[in-house]
Amino acid sequence: MCLQRTKERITAMAIETVGIVGGGQMGAGIAELAAKAGCKVIVREISPEAVEGAEKRISGSFGKALDRGKIEQADHDGAIANLSYTTDLADLAPCDLVVEAVIESPELKHEIFQALDEIVTSADAILASNTSSIPIASIAVSTKRPDKVVGLHFFNPAPVMKLVEVIPSILTSDDVVAELRAFATDKLDKEVVLAPDRSGFVVNFLLVPYLISAIRFLGDGHATVEDIDNGMKLGCGHPMGPLTLSDMIGLDTIHHVAVAMFDEYKEQLYAPPPLLSRMVEGGLLGRKTGKGFYTY
C-alpha cells in the first residue's frame, strides 16, 4: 500500500494481504502474527505435505494460545479464517507484502525473489526476507525493484519474541523502511531495531560468535554441556545457556549464519567449529530433530 505523509509524521496505510514463502518454524510464526493482526495471509509451501505441516503448525499454536487464555475464541476464529495455503507461488500475486522465510541458502533466495518480482503485481508491494545473515543488497539485485526489497528479521518464536530487525540495503527506499517499521510496530506490536546491511545485522553479529565459542569450547573438551550452560545461566544471569539456545535456534541455522559471516568478514571467530559441522552433517539439529546437545 502507500504512505500517507504529514508534516508531523509518516504513517503507513494498512498492509492488508501478506504472503509468506515457507511455512516452517519461522514462516509459521510470522504467518500467525500477521493473521492475528487482521491481515489476509497466504502461506506458500513446496508440496501438499509441507502445506499440511504448516497448517498443523499454525493451527496448533493458535489452539495452545486459546487453551491458555491468551486469545479469545472470536479472535482465534478470525485469525484462522484469515489464513490460506498454497503450493503455487503465483497465488501471492495480490500481496502488499511478501516475507520470504526459507532456509539460509543464497541461491534459493535469489531464485524466489526473481520469481516474486515477476509475480507480485503491485508496484508498491514490499518484498522482504527473514534472512538472519545474508546481506539484503545481494538479494535485492535479483529483482527489477531493489528499492522495494528489505530485510525483516523476526526471532524465534516469532509470536513471542518482541524484537524485529528491519534491514534496508543501500538500494532500499526510505518510504519502504518507514512503512515497514510502522507495520511492525503498530500492527504486529513489535519493537524495531534498524540494522545495518552487513552479515549478521545487529543481533546475530553479537550472538553467533558467543554460541560458536561455546560449541568450540565443548568440542575442545574443556567443559561439559551442563557446566557450560550452568556457567552462563548462574554466573551471568542468562535465561538459558548457549548450548540450550543453540538447540532451540537449530544447529543448521547457526551453521548457515556462521558460514555467511565468515564469508563476509574472513575472521576465525565466525568459522563453524568442527563439532558443529559434524552434528549438522549427522542430522543432530537440536529441538527440531529431537536431539542436539540435549535429547528432547
Instruction: For residues 68 and 102, state if they share a domain.
Output: yes
Residue 5: the pLDDT is 33
Whole-number percent of the chain with pLDDT over 70: 95
pLDDT single digits (tens) 150-185: 999 999 899 999 999 999 999 999 999 999 999 999
Nearest to 22 by CA among 112, 124, 106, 118: 112
Cα 266 to Cα 178: distance, rounded to the nearest angstrom:
33
Encode pLDDT of 142-152 as tens digits.
Answer: 999 999 999 99
208 by Cβ neighbours in 10 Å (0-12 / 13-18 / 19+) ranks as: buried
Judge if 257 and 283 occupy the same domain. Answer: yes
Q: 9 pLDDT exceeds 50? A: no
What pLDDT is recorded for position 173?
97
Which residues participate in catalysis according to the annotation? 132, 153, 165, 204
User: Per the domain annotation, does 293 fall within a domain?
Assistant: no
CATH code of the domain containing 220: 1.10.1040.10
Residues 72 and 131 both lie in one domain: yes
pLDDT score, position 287? 95
Same-domain status, 101 and 159: yes
Q: What is the pLDDT of residues 51-80, one digit of tens each?
A: 999 999 999 999 999 999 999 999 999 999
What domain count does the chain have? 2
Residues whose CB is less than 8 angstroms from the CB of residue 161 and which lie 6 or more positions away in sequence, other chains included: 154, 155
Tell me the per-residue pLDDT of 25-50, one tens digit each, with 9 for 90 and over. 999 999 999 999 999 999 999 999 99
**pLDDT(8) > 70:** no
Q: Residue 3: what pLDDT? A: 37
Residue 295 in any domain: the answer is: no
Residue 10: band (very low, low, confident or very high) from pLDDT cuts 50, 70, 90:
very low
Cis peptide before 157 (omega within 30 of 0): yes
Indicate whether 74 and 116 sit together in one domain: yes
Whether residue 99 is found in the same domain as residue 246: no
What is the predicted pLDDT for the residue at 222?
Answer: 98
Residue ranges making up the domain that contains 54: 3-194
Residues 132-141: tens digit of each pLDDT:
999 999 999 9
39 and 173 assigned to the same domain = yes
For residue 275, what pLDDT is reported? 98
In-domain check, residue 296: no
Residue 6: pLDDT band (50, 70, 90) is: very low
> Considering the entire predicted model, what is its pTM?
0.88
Show Cβ contacts of residue 69 under 8 Å, excluding neighbours closer than 6 positions: none
Q: 98 falls in which pLDDT band (50, 70, 90)?
A: very high
Whether 294 is covered by a domain: the verdict is: no
Give the per-residue pLDDT at 12. 47
Q: Are residues 17 and 162 in the same domain?
A: yes
Last residue of a domain, one of 194, 226, 246: 194
Are 141 and 256 within one domain?
no
pLDDT in tens, 192-226: 999 999 999 999 999 999 999 999 999 999 999 99
Please tell me whether residues 190 and 216 are part of one structural domain: no
CA angle at 119 for the pair 23 and 159, rounded to the nearest 5°? 25
pLDDT, tens digit, for every residue of 230-288? 999 999 999 999 999 999 999 999 999 999 999 999 999 999 999 999 999 999 999 99
Q: Is the pLDDT of residue 2 over 70?
A: no
Is 215 within a domain?
Answer: yes
